[in-house]
C-alpha cells in the first residue's frame, strides 16, 4: 500500500506541477524550491482528499507538511489510520 501511495503522489506532482522534466523523489523540496507555490498547494490537498478519501484540515495543510513527498506520505498514512 505505501509503495502505491508514494507512486500516486509522485505521479500527481509530476502531472500537476512539473513542466520542465524535473525529477521528483521522496525528499525533493516542493514548497521551498517554488515548484509548488502557495496557490497551487490547494490542488494537491484536494487531490489527496479525493484520491484517498480523507479530510485534511486547513491548518494541517501547512507548507511544512507538504514540503516533500515523504512528509506528504506520512500525513496521508496518518489520516488513513485515523479513519480506521
Partner 1 sequence: MAYTNELRTRLTQTLEELSAAGLSKDERYIRSAQGVEIEVEYPLGSAPRRVLNFCANNYLGLASHPRVVEAARRGLDERGYGMSSVRFICGTQDSHNELEQRLAEFLGMPEAILFASCFDANAAFFEVFFGREDVIISDRLIHASLIDGIRLCEAQRDTYKNSDTAHLEKKLQMWKDKARSICVVTDGVFSMDGMIAPLDRIAELCEQYGALLVVDDSHATGFIGRTGRGTHEHHNVMDRVDVITTTLGKALGGASGGLVAGPPEIVSLLRNRGRPYLFSNAVPPAVIYGALEVMEMLTEGTALRDTLEANAAHFRRRMEAAGFTLVQGESPIVPVMFGDARLAADMARSMLDEGIYVIGFSHPVVPMGKARIRVQLSASHTTEQIDHCVEAFIRCGEKHGVIKKDVGAGS
The residues that touch partner 1, with contacts defined as CB under 8 A, are 19-20, 34, 37, 39-40, 42-43, 46
Smallest separation, CB 44 to partner 1 (Å): 10
Smallest separation, CB 20 to partner 1 (Å): 7
Assigned C-alpha cell, 25 = 523523489
Which of residues 11 and 40 has its CB atom nearest to partner 1 in the complex?
A: 40
Which of residues 19 and 82 has its CB atom nearest to partner 1 in the complex?
A: 19
Amino acid at each position: 500500500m505505501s509503495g502505491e501511495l508514494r507512486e500516486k503522489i509522485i505521479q500527481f506532482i509530476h502531472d500537476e506541477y512539473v513542466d520542465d522534466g524535473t525529477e521528483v523523489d521522496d525528499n525533493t523540496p516542493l514548497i521551498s524550491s517554488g515548484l509548488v507555490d502557495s496557490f497551487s498547494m490547494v490542488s494537491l490537498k484536494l487531490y489527496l482528499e479525493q484520491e484517498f478519501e480523507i479530510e485534511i484540515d486547513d491548518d494541517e495543510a501547512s507548507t511544512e507538511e507538504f514540503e516533500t513527498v515523504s512528509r506528504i506520505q506520512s500525513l496521508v498514512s496518518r489520516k488513513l489510520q485515523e479513519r480506521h
